[in-house]
């Protein structure tokens, strides 16, 4: 190639040719030297950077099929990561939009209850369940002419009408909802608008009832406006905060690692192309900037792919319900600062990753030279990261969330500590893989091929596995924290679902109404028996107290022998018997003193629940009444006082009775509980049927667990996808070698096993490291919330299994292309 | 030369890649210990002929007989086994496994045949000495010169004691001095062990090492017996 000043004549220089042909050597005939082209002006640094980056961008698309393939791979990889990041960045908006709407539709009766008037509405909560689906409901009746109405509907529904959410309408109209229709004896007057729902799949209704119907409602109140104050100021439990913080770190770190990996997709081929640029005069810095330009282009394209995927998936996710959570499409909007951070940091990270990767490579004019004897990886800085993490987390031991000040700072400290510990675990992996594989040598051919490959490029293998390592380490730590938090937020209810499965508190005016309610419930399909309990009060008929409030009282429970046996340790019982029941047999307090066998007691009470000394209705406690000890009822409650069978006390004499029905269901009848709930609407419109369960879990905990599960699954899928791409890329680069190996008779199984070993070795090392890192983080987290150290071995096994499963899937997915590439066509060069 | 007594014989081979015919009625035969150069211009079908003869590629029609057996009737695993045990291969480039040392590369076919590691290492070392590359046994292919790498590949192709050695442009990536040294060592070792060599080349200088030349043109192979 001629340089601009090499003295050769240009094509338009006629003198030289003539002179040469004639052989004349006169000095005067020497042609004047053509003017040298001007040196291109030296561009300032930033302009040169921009020009080189732009050239890289051009190469990303103009280098033919191979360039496009690499650009598309990077763009899709980065795009997948960006999609997840955009969803993560939408979480604050989703949360605030949902909370805002939930607050707006709240019908809590907190604070001063307004006097009923023209501007108030009488309401009662009427929530119910249908086959594990929660249905929120409110029954209401206007107190006057200007009642406030709930958001999302145009007015208070008239008695006998209801407004339903679109999801509930769909359910009621479906075959599945056929059984549910009987529970709502109301005409559907309209559909609740989005502003009246916390999410699109929420099952909600507002039913209008008559003022008279409120007589059978145990708890109701009046409202002059809808909505509650923002409750977001309520502090979450510190352990839950820690769980959310660590969860975010654990879920987002693998995504960032994935993006960094995606920026290096196809790097080896790109490096070979860059060598060609060196041949035509590009210096080493230019080639690096050009490579960075290619990555920048790919990552910017990835941002576009990610944004497009996000917009498409947002439509699908909006309106879908996952683990009981649903969001409107409009809620899924990334917060502006986070979106901006993604737009800036993703391309910047891609450039940084490319430049760092190129530091270990010498791109020479005649080819790419990877350091033949790469420098040994240094341990000190890799250890520094987890140690720094431990240093940040350790001071929080026992003190996380204690005190009102510094809560945010502690959260940041915890997040930074966890991130450093997890990143440190990942950073240790290449060193660990290198240190271990260099000790491998002898073995069968597949093992030899795999370990030698790992010895040559342990970094590539470690990079592929690092995402899994973070995810598994984080998941193990979270599992340990979960175990602790679960213990805290799951309360044993002391309920015994073996003795009864459903319970209903019924507001009745008299014994006849209680009888009627028991009969209605007992007639429901699938009810095997009803434990019928009617409770009221008795007072000391001979009290000298002047103020009725000072008259000693006790409770009187009237029920048949089978039901009484569920409430007290009664050995023999016949109709007509009565019992004096104490919670503690040693306890003989003053309240119980008047209620003794043969004593006369007053059973008359006014509407306010006060004894009526001037207008007594006397009943004599049977002399045969035995003293027995109380027993937890199926609902976990202890009852005491006088227990009487209907033969000993007529329930129609009971003032202000409260009926309690505990129902035993036939397990062979499907939907027996639904039939009972349907029957309950004939007793009260508020459907106060509760399930008897042995434990209850904090809904916050359940929500967080669900969100983390969704996130962890998405992350693992993403990592799996990245590993498949990396493995396929490695295989494609070795296409010719694979064909040569086939030519001299290498079995498919030999190469398949070598791929498996090549994947399995770093994975096993990664899993070992992640278990160690996860346990360390878990122990620190447990110490932070002041819990004892307990390892959830089952959870640990599950997480390890999931990680290993992803690897197996990746290996299996790599086999078909491996076998395709093991065809002799790879030998053809023409 | 008549096909009688041939070790490997091909008859009326046809092979096309898409609409392009690579072989169009090609015929070929080789005897034990014979070195046959397959010559022709680029794209003439030389490599395709070699691939068909070695059982790497199945011809569209025609037959390849080796030791009295028709290759196209053999299963993939039978042909793989044949290539592991009876054939050896040398290609122009990209044939050594980069992560294995040169010694391990030479021992690889033996290990694939189930030979114990120590014995495989001993036999491979002996072949490497013979091809004057024993000193690079512990180096990786990326750390040796092109000529050394190619001699390592020749050692690998001969280590199993093949009856036929297929060499596809074995000196194509080497300078003339290195190329000649490789050819000398290759043909010398082959003649000593009575290994038949199918040598694909387009260089007359390389073909000069053969006993006989076959020219492939437009997919047809023409025997140039006595050309030398």
Do A445 and B95 count as a contact with CB atoms less than 8 A apart? no
C-alpha to C-alpha distance for A120 and A111, rounded to whole angstroms:
15
Distance CA A621, CA A392 (A): 68
Closest residue of chain B to A446, computed from CA coordinates: B112
Q: Specify which residues B164 forms β-bridges with.
A: B87, B196
CB contact under 8 A, B80 and A745: yes
**What domain count does chain A have?**
5
Q: Which tokens in the block code for residue A366?
A: 């005649």
In terms of domains, do A519 and A598 share one?
A: yes
The alpha carbon of B161 is separated from its chain's Cα centroid by a whole number of angstroms, namely 13
- In Å, how far is B108's CA from the nearest CA of chain A? 8
Predicted pLDDT of residue A29: 46
Residues 806-825 of A with CB under 8 A from B: 824-825
> Measured between CB atoms, does A272 come within 8 Å of chain B?
no
Both structure tokens of A594: 């008047």
For residue B1, what pLDDT is reported? 43
Say what the pTM is.
0.62
How many other C-beta atoms lie within 10 A of the C-beta of residue A112?
A: 6
Instruction: For residue range A449-487, list pLDDT tens digits in order.
Output: 888 888 877 777 777 677 777 877 887 787 777 777 666
- Most confident among A229-243, A265-279, A726-740, B15-29 (mean pLDDT): B15-29
pLDDT for res A720: 74
Task: Give the closest-approach CA distance of A22 to chain B in angstroms.
Answer: 40
Q: Is B54 on the interface with A (CB under 8 A)?
A: yes
User: Residue A749's pLDDT is what?
Assistant: 86
> What's chain B's Rg over C-alpha atoms?
17
Residues on chain B touching A455 (C-beta within 8 angstroms): 99
Do A518 and A568 fall into the same domain? Answer: yes
Does residue A232 belong to any structural domain of this protein?
no
Collapsed DSSP state (helix, strand, coil) of residue A10: coil
The answer to whether residue A383 is domain-embedded is: yes
Is the per-residue pLDDT at A16 higher than 50?
no
Tokens of B96: 């050594």
| Torsion angles phi and psi, residue B25, rounded to 5 | 85, 35
CA A327 vs CA A316, A321, A735, B64: distances in Å:
11, 8, 47, 68
For residue A574, give Cα distances in angstroms to A457, A641, A645, B111: 85, 18, 8, 90
Listed residues A195, A223, A251: the one ending a domain: A223
Whether residue A260 sits in one domain with residue A347:
yes
> Mean per-residue pLDDT for B89-113?
86
Q: Which residues of B touch A747 (CB under 8 A)?
A: 77, 80, 112
* pLDDT score at B31: 92
pLDDT given for residue B63 in this prediction? 92
Query: Which of A136-140, A251-255, B76-80 shows the highest mean pLDDT?
Result: A136-140
**Chain B closest-CA separation from residue A260 CA (Å):** 26
Chain A interface includes B97 (CB < 8 A): yes
Span A181-197, average pLDDT: 90
In this structure, are A549 and A627 located in the same domain? yes
Q: How confident is residue A13, by pLDDT bands cut at 50, 70 and 90?
A: very low
Cα R_g (chain A), whole angstroms: 39
Count CB-CB contacts under 10 A for residue B220: 17
Give yes or no for residue A711 having a pLDDT over 70.
no
Domain co-membership, A699 together with A825: yes
Query: Does A793 lie at the interface with B, CB-CB under 8 angstroms?
Result: no
| pLDDT on residue A494 | 63
Give start and end residues of each alpha helix (H) in A135-177: 166-173
CA dist A717 and A403 (Å) reads 40
List of chain B residues whose C-beta atoms are within 8 Å of the C-beta of residue A743: 54, 56, 83, 89, 91
What's the confidence (pLDDT) of residue A4?
36
The Cα A299–Cα A816 span in angstroms is 29
Residue A231: inside a domain: no
Q: Which residue in the block uniquely carries the two structure tokens 């169009």?
A: B24
Does A762 lie in the same domain as A675? no
Specify the fold of B1-84+205-228: Rossmann fold (3.40.50)
Instruction: Give the residue from chain A lying closest to B22, CA to CA.
Output: A830
What average pLDDT does this structure show over B162-172?
90
ipTM of the complex in this document: 0.78
Question: How far, in Å, CA of B19 to CA of B38, rounded?
Answer: 24
CA distance A455 to chain B (A): 8
pLDDT above 70 covers a percentage of chain B that reads: 96
Strand order in the sheet with B220-223: B87-90, B164-168, B196-200, B35-39, B212-217, B220-223
B40-73 burial: b if 16+ Cβ within 10 Å, else e: beeebbbbbbbbbbbbbbbbeebebbbeeeebee
Model pLDDT, residue A37: 53
CA distance A133 to chain B (A): 58
**Whole-number Å distance between alpha carbons of A143 and A120:** 6
Which is nearest to A477 in space by CA: A518, A417, A429? A417
What pLDDT, on the 0 to 100 scale, is given for residue A2?
36
Phi, psi of A321 (to 5 degrees): -110, 125
Q: Is B82 on the interface with A (CB under 8 A)?
A: yes
**Residue A660: beta bridge partners?**
A505, A533
Residues A105-132: what's their mean pLDDT? 81
Which burial class, exposed, middle or buried, applies to A500 when counting CB atoms under 10 A from its CB (0-12, 13-18, 19+)?
buried
Give the sign of the dihedral formed by CA B207, CA B210, CA B214, CA B218: negative
Task: Identify whether residues A16 and A140 lie together within a single domain.
Answer: no
Q: How confident is the model at residue A35 (pLDDT cuts 50, 70, 90)?
A: low
The pLDDT assigned to A344 comes to 92
What is the four-CA torsion angle of B159, B161, B162, B167, rounded to 10 degrees? 40
Nearest CA in chain B to A442: B117
Q: Tell me A287's DSSP state.
A: H
Choice among A29-38, A181-190, A272-281, A395-404 with the minimum mean pLDDT = A29-38
Each residue's pLDDT tens digit, A316-365: 877 776 656 778 888 889 989 889 988 998 888 888 888 887 776 777 76
* pLDDT at B103 (0 to 100): 93
Q: Distance between CA atoms of A20 and A559, rounded to whole angstroms?
A: 131
Inter-chain CB proximity B47 and A830 less than 8 Å: yes
Interface size between A and B, measured as CB pairs under 8 A: 82
How far off is chain B from A822, nearest CA to CA, in Å? 11
Residue A585's pLDDT is what?
58
Reported as a pLDDT band with limits 50, 70 and 90, residue A215 is confident
Using the 8-state DSSP alphabet, how is residue A563 labeled? H
Residue B228 — pLDDT band, cuts 50, 70, 90?
Answer: very low
**Domain endpoint, select from A351, A373, A395:** A373
Contact A827 B117 (CB under 8 A): no
Instruction: For chain A, positions 169-228, list CB contacts with chain B under 8 A.
Output: none
Considering only residues A442 and B86, tell me which one the structure prediction assigns the higher pLDDT.
B86
> What does the pLDDT read at residue B197?
94
Among A693, A721, A745, give the residue marking a domain's end. Answer: A693
Q: Min CA distance, B2 vs chain A (Å)?
A: 28
Q: In the structure encoding, which two tokens stand for residue A213, read together?
A: 């119907």
Chain B CB within 8 Å of residue A442 CB: yes
Q: Which residues of A touch B74 (CB under 8 A)?
A: none
| Judgement on whether residues A636 and A785 belong to the same structural domain of the protein | no
- The tens digit of pLDDT for each residue in A662-685 reads 888 888 888 888 898 888 888 888
Are residues A323 and A200 located together in one domain of the fold?
no
Bridge partners of B29, per DSSP, are B9
pLDDT at A793: 78
Among A240-244, A245-249, A733-737, B57-61, which range has the highest average pLDDT?
B57-61
Least confident of A390-394, A614-618, B211-215: A614-618
Q: What's the CA gap between B98 and B152, in Å, rounded? A: 12
Decide if A746 and B112 are in contact by the 8 Å CB cutoff. yes
A316 and A409 in one domain? Answer: no
Residue of B nearest to A441 (CA): B100
| Residue A229 maps to a domain | no
Nearest to B89 among A737, A744, A825 (CB): A744
Assess whether A452 and A310 both reside in one domain: no
| Minimum-distance CB partner of A743 among B54, B81, B99 | B54
Chain B contact for A740 (CB, 8 A cutoff)? yes
Is there a domain that residue A228 lies in? no
pLDDT band at residue A510 using 50, 70 and 90 as cut-offs: confident
Q: What is the mean pLDDT of residues A644-652?
A: 88
CB contact under 8 A, B109 and A829: no
Contact A351, A264 (CB under 8 A): no
Q: What is the DSSP string of A212-256?
A: GGGGG-SS-EEESS------TTSPPPHHHHHHHHHHHHHHHHHHH
Between B149 and A793, residue with greater pLDDT:
B149
Q: What tokens appear for A580 in the block?
A: 């004096």
The domain spans of chain B are: 1-84+205-228
Provide the domain limits for residue A195: 107-223
| Lowest-pLDDT choice from A5-14, A433-442, B153-162, B192-201 | A5-14
DSSP 3-state assignment of B169?
A: coil
Phi-psi region of A187 (alpha: psi -120 to 50; beta: other; left: phi over 0): beta
Q: Are B35 and B201 in contact (CB under 8 A)?
A: no
What burial class does residue A538 get, using C-beta atoms within 10 Å of its C-beta: 0-12 exposed, 13-18 middle, 19+ buried? buried
Residues A254 and A199 in one domain: no
Q: What is the dihedral of CA A311, A313, A315, A317, to 10 degrees?
A: -140
Residue with tokens 């396929």, as numbered in its chain: A728
């Amino acid at each position: 190639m001629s340089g601009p000043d090499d003295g050769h004549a240009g094509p338009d220089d006629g003198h030289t040719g003539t002179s040469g042909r004639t052989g004349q050597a006169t000095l005067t005939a020497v042609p004047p030297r053509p003017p040298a082209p001007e040196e291109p002006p030296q561009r300032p640094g930033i302009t040169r950077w921009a020009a080189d980056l732009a050239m890289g961008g051009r190469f990303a698309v103009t280098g033919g099929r191979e360039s496009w393939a690499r650009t598309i791979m990077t763009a899709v990889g980065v795009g997948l990561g960006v999609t997840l990041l955009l969803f993560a960045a939408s979480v604050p908006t989703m949360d605030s939009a949902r909370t805002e709407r939930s607050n707006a539709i709240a019908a809590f009766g907190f604070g001063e209850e307004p006097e009923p008037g023209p501007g108030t509405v009488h309401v009662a909560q009427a929530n119910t369940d249908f086959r594990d689906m929660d249905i929120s409901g409110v029954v209401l009746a206007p107190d006057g002419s200007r009642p406030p109405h709930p958001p999302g509907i145009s007015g208070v529904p008239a008695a006998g009408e209801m407004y339903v959410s679109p999801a509930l309408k769909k359910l009621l109209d479906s075959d599945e909802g056929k059984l549910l229709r009987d529970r709502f004896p109301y005409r559907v007057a309209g559909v609740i608008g989005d502003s009246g729902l916390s999410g699109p799949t929420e099952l909600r209704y507002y039913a209008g009832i008559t003022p008279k119907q409120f007589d059978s409602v145990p708890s109701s109140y009046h409202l002059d406006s809808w909505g509650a104050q923002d409750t977001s100021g309520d502090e979450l439990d510190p352990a839950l905060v820690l769980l959310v913080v660590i969860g975010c770190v654990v879920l987002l770190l693998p995504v960032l690692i994935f993006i960094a990996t995606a920026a290096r997709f196809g790097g080896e081929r790109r490096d070979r192309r860059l060598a060609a640029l060196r041949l035509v005069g590009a210096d080493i810095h230019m080639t690096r900037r050009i490579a960075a330009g290619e990555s920048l282009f790919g990552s910017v394209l990835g941002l576009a792919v990610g944004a497009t995927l996000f917009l498409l998936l947002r439509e699908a996710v909006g309106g879908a319900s996952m683990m009981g959570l649903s969001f409107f499409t409009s809620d899924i909007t990334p917060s502006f600062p986070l979106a901006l951070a993604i737009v800036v940091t993703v391309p910047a990270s891609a450039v940084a990753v490319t430049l760092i990767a190129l530091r270990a490579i010498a791109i020479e004019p005649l080819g790419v030279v990877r350091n033949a004897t790469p420098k040994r990886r240094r341990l000190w800085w890799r250890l520094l990261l987890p140690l720094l993490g431990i240093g940040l987390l350790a001071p929080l031991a026992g003190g996380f969330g204690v005190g009102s000040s510094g809560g945010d700072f502690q959260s940041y400290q915890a997040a930074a500590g966890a991130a450093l510990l997890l990143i440190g675990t990942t950073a240790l992996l290449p060193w660990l893989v290198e240190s271990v594989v260099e000790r491998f040598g002898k073995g069968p051919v597949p093992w030899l091929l795999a370990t030698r490959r790992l010895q040559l490029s342990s970094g590539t293998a470690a990079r592929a596995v690092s995402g899994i390592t973070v995810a598994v380490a984080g998941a193990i730590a979270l599992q340990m924290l979960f175990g602790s938090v679960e213990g805290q937020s799951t309360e044993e209810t002391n309920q015994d679902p073996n003795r009864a499965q459903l319970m209903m508190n019924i507001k009745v005016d008299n014994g006849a109404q209680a009888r009627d309610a028991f009969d209605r419930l007992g007639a429901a399909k699938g009810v095997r028996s009803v434990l019928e309990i009617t409770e009221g009060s008795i007072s000391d008929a001979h009290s000298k107290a002047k103020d009725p409030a000072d008259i000693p009282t006790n409770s009187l429970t009237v029920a048949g022998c089978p039901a009484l046996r569920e409430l007290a340790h009664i050995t023999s019982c016949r109709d007509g018997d009565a019992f004096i029941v104490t919670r503690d047999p040693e306890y003989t307090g003053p309240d119980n003193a008047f209620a003794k066998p043969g004593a006369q007691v007053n059973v008359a009470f006014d509407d306010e629940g006060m004894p009526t000394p001037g207008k007594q209705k006397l009943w004599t406690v049977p002399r045969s009444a035995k003293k027995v000890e109380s027993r937890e009822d199926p609902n976990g409650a202890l009852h005491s006082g006088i227990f009487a069978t209907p033969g000993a006390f007529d329930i129609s004499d009971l003032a202000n009775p409260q009926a309690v029905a505990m129902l035993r269901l036939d397990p062979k009848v499907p939907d027996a509980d639904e039939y009972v709930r349907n029957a309950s609407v004939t007793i009260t419109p508020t459907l106060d049927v509760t399930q008897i369960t042995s434990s209850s879990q904090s809904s916050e905990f359940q929500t967080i667990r669900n969100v983390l599960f969704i996130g962890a699954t998405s992350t693992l899928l993403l990592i799996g996808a990245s590993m498949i791409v990396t493995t396929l890329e490695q295989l494609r680069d070795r296409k010719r070698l694979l064909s040569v190996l086939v030519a001299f008779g290498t079995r498919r199984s030999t190469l398949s096993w070598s791929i498996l070993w090549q994947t399995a070795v770093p994975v096993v090392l990664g899993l070992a490291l992640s278990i160690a890192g996860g346990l360390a983080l878990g122990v620190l987290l447990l110490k932070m919330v002041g819990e004892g150290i307990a390892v959830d071995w089952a959870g640990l096994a599950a997480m390890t299994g999931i990680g290993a499963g992803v690897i197996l899937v990746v290996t299996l997915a790599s086999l078909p292309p491996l076998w395709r590439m093991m065809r002799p066509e790879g030998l053809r060069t023409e | 030369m008549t096909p009688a007594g041939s070790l490997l014989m091909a008859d009326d081979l046809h092979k096309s890649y898409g609409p392009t015919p690579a072989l169009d009625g090609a015929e070929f035969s080789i005897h034990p210990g014979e070195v046959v150069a397959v010559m022709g211009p680029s794209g003439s079908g030389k490599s395709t002929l070699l691939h068909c003869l070695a059982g790497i590629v199945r011809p569209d029609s025609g037959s390849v007989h080796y030791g009295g057996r028709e290759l196209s009737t053999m299963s993939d695993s039978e042909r793989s086994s044949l290539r592991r045990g009876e054939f050896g291969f040398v290609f122009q480039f990209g044939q050594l496994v980069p992560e294995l040392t040169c010694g391990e590369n030479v021992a690889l076919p033996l290990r694939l045949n189930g030979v114990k590691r120590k014995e495989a290492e001993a036999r491979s070392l002996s072949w490497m000495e013979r091809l004057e590359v024993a000193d690079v046994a512990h180096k990786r292919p990326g750390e040796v010169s092109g000529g050394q790498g190619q001699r390592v590949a020749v050692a690998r192709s001969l280590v199993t004691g093949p009856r036929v050695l297929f060499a596809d442009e074995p000196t194509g990536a080497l300078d003339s001095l290195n190329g000649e040294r490789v050819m000398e060592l290759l043909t010398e070792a082959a003649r000593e062990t009575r290994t038949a060599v199918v040598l694909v080349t387009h260089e007359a200088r390389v073909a000069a090492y053969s006993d006989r030349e076959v020219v492939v043109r437009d997919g047809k192979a023409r025997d140039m017996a006595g050309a030398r």
